[in-house]
Amino acid sequence: MSSPLSLLQQRHSAPSRQLSEPAPDEATLHAVLEAAIRVPDHGKLAPFRIILLRGEAKLHFGEQLTALAIRRDPQLPESNREKERLRYTFAPLVVTVIARIDHSSKVPAIEQKLSAGCVAHNLLLGAYALGYGAQWLTGWAAYDPEVAALLGLAENEQVIGFVHLGTAQIDIPDRDRPELASLLSTWSP
């Protein structure tokens, strides 16, 4: 019998370049997203939202990012231009997790961001539990104000991550993990 913790003990990311069809169907995606938003949420603010990138929209998004990158660096090598253009096209679905910070709330902004981060992590767990591959990526686009405008984000919103979802095309080896003993201590007065 497997341990109830085996999902957490075995979960790993699948590189976005190794993800392809099939992505979760609509019913499965809806179920995964419903589960993903069940996160700690001090103040019941729901300080997050989700934007899906699918189909041709992923390539169009990459082309827009490439144009931004070239405008900032006209000498950007062709290989980097192509990398930017295709970055979001490998996985069949990219779930963009957005933090919505309510600055008027007594709940600190960091707690609101962490709640949104939990949504992204739950997406990884949900995908893995259902046999899909997923990778949470950020990169410069997650922190860029012009990309935020491209995505239609409000001033109080920011990208937490782009979660690439699909089916892994190779067996993904686990990476080395830290030893718990090197991270654990007990505080005493």
pLDDT tens for 37-75 read: 999 999 999 999 999 999 999 999 999 999 999 999 999
- Residue 184's pLDDT band, with cuts at 50, 70 and 90, is very high
Structural contact between residues 59 and 85, judged by C-beta atoms closer than 8 angstroms: yes
**CA-to-CA distance for 70 and 93, rounded, in angstroms?**
26
Q: Which CATH architecture has domain 14-170?
A: 3-Layer(aba) Sandwich (3.40)
Question: Would you state the pLDDT for residue 75?
Answer: 97
Length of the chain: 189
For residue 8, the SS3 value is: helix
Average pLDDT over every residue of 119-145? 97
DSSP state, residue 130: T
Q: What is the pLDDT of residue 123?
A: 98
> How far is 105 from 124, CA to CA, in rounded Å?
29
Bond prior to 74 in cis (omega within 30° of 0) = no
pTM above 0.75, yes or no: yes
Q: Using CA atoms, how far apart are residues 85 and 108, in angstroms rounded to an integer?
A: 36
Q: Given a cut of 90, is residue 3 above it in pLDDT? A: no
Distance CA 170, CA 116 (A): 30
Q: What is the DSSP letter of 108?
A: -
Q: How far is CA 29 from CA 78, 95, 99, in A?
A: 35, 10, 20
Checking if the pLDDT of 118 tops 80, the result is: yes
Q: Token pair 């995505």 is at which residue?
A: 151
**Residue whose entry in the numeric block shows the structure tokens 């609101």:** 112
